[in-house]
A and B are shown apart, each in its own frame.
Chain A
Amino acid sequence: MLYRLLSIVQRQRTSPGWQNWSSSRSSTSATEAHSVTLPAQAQVVICGGGIMGTSVAYHLSKMGWQDIVLLEQGRLAAGSTRFCAGILSTARHSSIEQKMADYSNKLYLQLEQETGIQTGYLRTGSISLAQTQDRLISLKRINSRLNVIGIPSEIISPKKVAELHPLLNVHDLVGAMHVPEDAVVSSPDVALALASAASQNGVQIYDRTSVLHVLIKKGQVTGVETDKGQIECQYFVNCAGQWAYELGLSNEEPVSIPLHACEHFYLLTRPWNTPLQSNTPTVVDADGRIYIRNWQGGILSGGFEKNPKPIFTEGKNQLEIQNLREDWDHFEPLLSSLLRRMPELETLEIMKLVNCPETFTPDMKCIMGESPVVQGYFVLAGMNSAGLSLGGGAGKYLAEWMVYGYPSENVWELDLQRFGALQSSRTFLRHRVMEVMPLMYDLKVPRWDFQTGRQLRTSPLYDRLDAQGARWMEKHGFERAKFFVPPNKDLLPLEQSKTFYKPDWFDIVESEVKCCKEAVCVIDMSSFTKFEITSTGDQALESLQYLFSNDLDVPVGHIVHTGMLNEDGGYENDCSIARLNRRSFFMISPTDQQVHCWAWLKKYMPKDSNLLLEDVTWKYTGRGATLTKLLTPAQSAVAFTKPVVRALNLIGPRAVDLLSELSYAPMTPDHFPTLFCKEMSVGYANGIRVMSMTHTGEPGFMLYIPIEYALHIYNEMMSVGQKYGIRNAGYYALRSLRIEKFFSFWGQDLNALTTPLECGGESRVKLEKGIDFIGRDALLQQKQNGVYKRLAMFILDDHDTDVDFWPWWGEPIYRNGQYAGKTTSSAYSYTLERHVCLGYVHNFSEDSGEEQVVTTDFINRGEYEIDIAGQRFQAKAKLYPITSYFTHKRRKDDVELSDFHGK
């Protein structure tokens, strides 16, 4: 096997031209024997011999796993990997992608030495150009983040750009970012080198073997059916690139992997009169939508056009990728942009226009992780045309995930489980990727919402709210109101509203926040994930006590905030649980937890007991089907008739008066203390579940309403509430209220690698509740040893809201001038009249850079600065919310506050 593999590489190397590439490939395959027999079993089967599959194989074998089979339907490195432009760029927008690209860079650098296979690695550096000030701000943000993770980069002047790359026209530039360690590489050779190294470590590689479908028993991978026979296995890794979606659906129990391919074009030229130096930097002109790298003395240039061409929507076979057409007319805008940037290239001879489909995902982030429905089914695909840059790091993280249970970094934003089945409609994907691909080079600004694939899930109040001026955002397919535009006010058109500064809705949200503080507001919060857990005996309590860190054995009607922790004490979910009666519990989690939390509960809950778990967020029949496995037939009948529940959040001091008027029941703290839950009638509707919490720290109530009553209750509230000054509010107001009170949010501030002790959540952990809940040991140990990072709240002091850049997230935090961590979320506090950021403070040793214990004292003794796009602002760090600022009358003062919490 190894010999064959190396022979492929040898042949490839002897044929230097790009064009000869495919012919050398076919001659190789002709010599191969066809009588290869597959092993009957393996621990891991990886499908896909591109850079992703080989990287996963490489890293798994490095981590000591031996029994690995890699299957490729065509030939190794023959898909997108073969045509990839070969640019390795660490200038990425999210920190996790920067880290993956940085690792890839280091990996590829030494790969040639490790394997003896030439990878064409050349450290050319990259220059990202800015034609506008906004673009420059965007680059400065990236620059700040690159620097703190140790990747050298700098913002340079147009003059310096001209020095670095003499052919560039720099007259229309306002600046640029130079990343000197970025590289170019031949991606098929990297894949071959990784495959070769993996092969040396014992990975068996079979090409021209197609995976037909994955065999699954009881929600667990048991094997793989290929066109050359079956292989039994425990783990399956889907690295099938643009075919991953189809492959996912081919199983009996389909795995939804939302991605879709678009055609992608780049140009190859013959060498320039005086051939370009091989170390000529790669140029990314995002405003011109193009990238340019040197290629064999000439250039390689492609881009991400505004009008992409989605392809393979119906799912096609691999052969089609070989004979995709060039489309010069489609390429014209990019060509014109190229010649504007490098006018001297006019005389350069054309060699080829390459059409190389790239795969995109609904949120422009790659997809990795384990399927929520099939255990042992892992995925790494959907690289959004950054497969080469991310390949090494992504392969490493996925291998860590399989071997150690979770990657060494938080990868929630890349986790397959952030999607649900609802993102797997072909129509949705086709429309969404047409928006995503141009976004590659669009300006990335805070609070940007996708415009396609919208209005998929809407509340029954949607039309009512929309008519009242609601502006919408989307979360997990769910439409949520951001804020409500008053009738007399106009906002900027969408495209012009992109800004790094103060947004045009500032005053609107201010008035909504004010109303929450002084009167009462109603927010439709139906998108939150809501589960009910019921049992015939004490099983519900027992299993929840094991799954959650807080003590849930509370009197009926009480609400408990608690984390759902993993073995290491990290948050898998952060939620509120109400005890409805002795045997049933109601659980409220963030919107995007719908898939992940369900998968987690299913994995850890005892299977054979009379325990019923149901999702009441949405009438989703798939959930019902899963349910029946946990249920006896008589019970499942009940499960299907359960009402879908909507949630209205009534925030503000007058909520008490409004609700008691609507229900003729006293709602004062004596009768209805904070964090309490009971069923009552509201208006004409009976059986409404009312909870005295608001997810904001403000007084008020959450109402959980069967869907058919939603409109009635909303109408009643609005008409009766008039005299209390009721109005609609949106999520931006909620966010501002929440962050100013230091309510952290799972998925942004909290994740699988942060523990309650690191973010002030001690009060939600009952180590001594008498049950050895998941994560308890880790927390005990951490309590003894101290924490290595600590979530703090930063209040920006010298930040002028009107003129300075607004913080977003991911801004570096400096403590006494030393980098100490990054922010995780931010909002403007209308009460404090300051920006508030949440973020983790680390204690990096000045000598070794090693992480040291962070104490309260360490936090309090520091002087802090937040770096927003290169500009530093002084900040005060707080470990607890500033209660003195919030002086309004509170019932059972600050219970919710000290027990801060949010969604």
Chain B
Amino acid sequence: MSSTVSYWIFNSARNYIATFQGGRRLYSSVTNRNQLKWRLFSPALPTIKSSSPCGNFALWKAYRHTSTEEEDFHLQLSPEQVNEVLRAGELSHKVLDFNSGVLHSVLRFESNQLAANSPVEDRQGVASCLQTNGLMFGIFDGHGGHACAQAVSERLFYYMAVSLGADGRRMENMKPLLPILQWLKHPGDSIYKDVTSVHLDHLRVYCQELLDLHMEMGLSIEEALMYSFQRLDSDISLEIQAPLEDEATRNLSLQVAFSGATACMAYVNGVHLHVANAGDCRAILGVQEENGTWSCLPLTCDHNAWNEAELSRLKREHPESEDRTLIIDDRLLGVLIPCRAFGDVQLKWSKELQHSVLERGFDTEALNIYQFTPPHYHTPPYLTAKPEVTYHRLRPQDKFLVLASDGLWDMLSNEDVVRLMVGHLSKVGHHKPDLDQRPANLGLMQSLLLQRKASGLHAADQNAATHLIRHAIGSNEYGEMEPERLAAMLTLPEDVARMYRDDITVTVVFFNSDSIDTYYKGG
């Protein structure tokens, strides 16, 4: 265990390449807001055999000290470079699909990701279910590595598609008769190609079971979401318990099971919007009332220690004697911030099962897996992937849906996000001074344009997700944009970045109010 921790610190020191600009002041306000989801080196955890927790701390301080001394090497990003960094992960997609003559209720979506962890532990995915023509949007926030988030982001959509569609489940010679899913992916998104055949086998079993249940018409969407989440989590858990021949597959399955991921998935079909959430990703709806005022409609609840309902659920599921130990330091068993997640079998399996699986001779150190038992671990499972599903019937006043990992919500409130989105929409819509207020002559126009240029207004992000990320990390305490702060946050060495910000992944879905309107008018 200790090796993992010191590895992390060591890595920080070794990879150190550049120091930050502009003094400490910029970061102080956010430092404590971001805590690693897995608390691994806390001295409060006696079971973690940390050789010298103080030593680690000293090392960290020493490292900070070094960085101030090497300020000569600082990296100053130009506004263009800032934009380049911010926009690197952009993805946008227009939904041009005509479904039986009616435009899709989704107009387009825009997505972006900014990494703090290296490699990034967030994942996102968008796919269209070919049988129902519905669109699925997922955000997955991994912890303890990216393996689980990666696996869930690849597989959950298939489980959903299978749960939803009857035709797609029919197989012939163990191959699906029809393609069931179309990815709307970022070209850079990776897929673990070598192990997908094992996953496919499990998917087939699930299919077969659904067929055996004679649910030809598919499940209801609520059920589909519920089952898909739980089934996938259970498959992840079972895969590593079953003997696996291939070592690569085995190692990967182990990493998936022993890391974790929260997930939030929205499914849009016509005017029906379902959101399933497990963990602390969040989905909110931007609503513009007929009088033009904007408001925010949260569609998920964060599953963490601040959620009373979650607390009572945990208390309900465990004996009264554990009431005081379920949440320690606002963490589940003192370890994990979210109370629902995929993977994380350390909080799901019995101690015995964990031991027996790991004793099968894995090189856990090489795989970066930390097996440990938290204190007060009496009645597992403590963690579940069962999602909370909410339903919302889309109305013409529902303009957009923002799905994001907690990296965004740590920095911005729901209202902030809606406010920024409204600003963004007006800027993208009118990327120029309004005609009525337009200066009448060339001289005035020029000075206005120069002003706008100086204030960086003209560089409006085309991508809404980029706009949100920019403000999430670049705004000061008063919600004002500070270009220096933004540049500084982006120049953080990759190993320190996580101290100041989390991975941020945002997907913004824009609805087509007109086509939603026709849904209503057409009955």
Contacts and interface: CB of A to CB of B under 8 A. Distances in A.
A345 interface: yes
B443 A346 contact: yes
Interface string B438-451: 11111101100110
Given A347-B441, A348-B442, A328 B432 contact: yes
B380 interface: no
Contacts of B458: 329-330, 332
A346 B443 CA distance: 4
B445 A327 contact: no
Interface in B424-461: 431-433, 438-443, 445-446, 449-450, 452-453, 457-458
A329 B441 contact: no
A338 interface: yes
B436 to A, nearest CB: 13
Contacts of B441: 346-350
B450 A336 contact: yes
Interface string A311-332: 0000000000000011111111
A179 to B, nearest CB: 27
Contacts of A331: 449
A339 B443 CA distance: 8
Given A269-B442, A338-B442, A350-B439, A326 B432 contact: yes
A3 to B, nearest CB: 39
Interface residues of A, number: 20
B442 A328 contact: no
Quick one: which of B432, B439, B442, B449 has the most chain A CB within 10 A? B442
Contacts of B442: 267, 269, 335, 338-339, 345-348, 350
Quick one: which of A267, A325, A332, A348 has the most chain B CB within 10 A? A332
B324 to A, nearest CB: 59
B442 to A, nearest CB: 5
Quick one: which of A329, A347, A349, A350 has the most chain B CB within 10 A? A329
A336 B446 CA distance: 7
Contacts of A335: 442, 445-446, 449
Contacts of B443: 339, 345-347
A329 B450 contact: no
Given A346-B441, A350-B439, A327 B432 contact: yes
Contacts of A329: 431-432, 449, 452-453, 457-458
Nearest to A347: B441
Contact of B440 (A325, A336, A345, A350): A350
A350 B446 CA distance: 11
Interface string A334-361: 0110110000011111100000000000
Q: Interface SS of chain B: helix, strand, loop or mixed?
A: helix
A326 B453 CA distance: 16
A267 to B, nearest CB: 8
A336 B431 CA distance: 19
Interface in B405-438: 431-433, 438
B129 to A, nearest CB: 25
Nearest to A340: B446
A349 B458 CA distance: 23
B100 to A, nearest CB: 22
Nearest to B430: A325
Contacts of B438: 350
A345 B450 CA distance: 17
A350 B445 contact: yes
Nearest to A338: B442
A328 B433 contact: yes
A328 B440 contact: no
Nearest to B457: A329
Contacts of A346: 441-443, 446
Contact of A349 (B432, B440, B446, B453): B440
A350 B440 CA distance: 6
Contacts of A339: 442-443, 446
Given A325-B431, A325-B432, A326-B432, A332 B440 contact: no
A430 to B, nearest CB: 15
B453 A332 contact: yes
Interface in A283-332: 325-332
B449 A332 contact: yes
B445 A328 contact: yes
A330 to B, nearest CB: 8
A327 B431 contact: yes
Interface in A248-291: 267, 269
Interface string B210-243: 0000000000000000000000000000000000
Nearest to B452: A329
Contacts of B432: 325-329
Contacts of B446: 332, 335-336, 339, 346
Contacts of B431: 325, 327, 329
Contacts of A338: 442
Nearest to B443: A346
Interface in A364-400: none
Contacts of A269: 442
A339 B449 CA distance: 13
Quick one: which of B432, B433, B453 has the most chain A CB within 10 A? B432
A332 B457 CA distance: 13
Contacts of B439: 350
A338 B442 CA distance: 9
Quick one: which of B438, B446, B458 has the most chain A CB within 10 A? B446
B451 to A, nearest CB: 10
A347 B438 CA distance: 14
Interface in A539-591: none
Contacts of A327: 431-432
Interface string B291-335: 000000000000000000000000000000000000000000000
Contacts of B457: 329
B433 to A, nearest CB: 6
Contacts of A347: 441-443
A864 B457 CA distance: 61
Contacts of B449: 328-329, 331-332, 335-336
B80 to A, nearest CB: 10
A892 to B, nearest CB: 58
A338 B441 CA distance: 13
Nearest to B94: A314
Nearest to A336: B446
A305 to B, nearest CB: 13
A267 B446 CA distance: 13
Contacts of A349: 440-441
A346 B446 CA distance: 9
B147 to A, nearest CB: 33
A331 B431 CA distance: 12
Nearest to B439: A350
Contacts of B452: 329, 332
A728 B458 CA distance: 50
Nearest to A299: B442
Contacts of B440: 349-350
Nearest to B440: A349
Nearest to B448: A328
Nearest to B435: A326
A294 to B, nearest CB: 15
28 contacts: A267-B442, A269-B442, A325-B431, A328-B432, A328-B433, A328-B445, A329-B431, A329-B449, A329-B452, A330-B458, A331-B449, A332-B453, A332-B458, A335-B445, A335-B446, A335-B449, A336-B449, A339-B446, A345-B443, A346-B441, A347-B441, A347-B443, A348-B441, A348-B442, A349-B441, A350-B441, A350-B442, A350-B445
Interface of A: 267, 269, 325-332, 335-336, 338-339, 345-350
Name the 9 nearest CB pairs between A and B, nearest first.
Answer: A346-B443, A329-B458, A332-B449, A328-B432, A347-B441, A348-B442, A335-B446, A349-B441, A345-B442
Given A332-B449, A332-B453, A350-B442, 18 more contacts: A269-B442, A328-B433, A329-B432, A329-B457, A331-B449, A332-B450, A335-B445, A335-B446, A336-B450, A345-B443, A346-B442, A347-B441, A347-B442, A347-B443, A349-B440, A350-B439, A350-B441, A350-B445
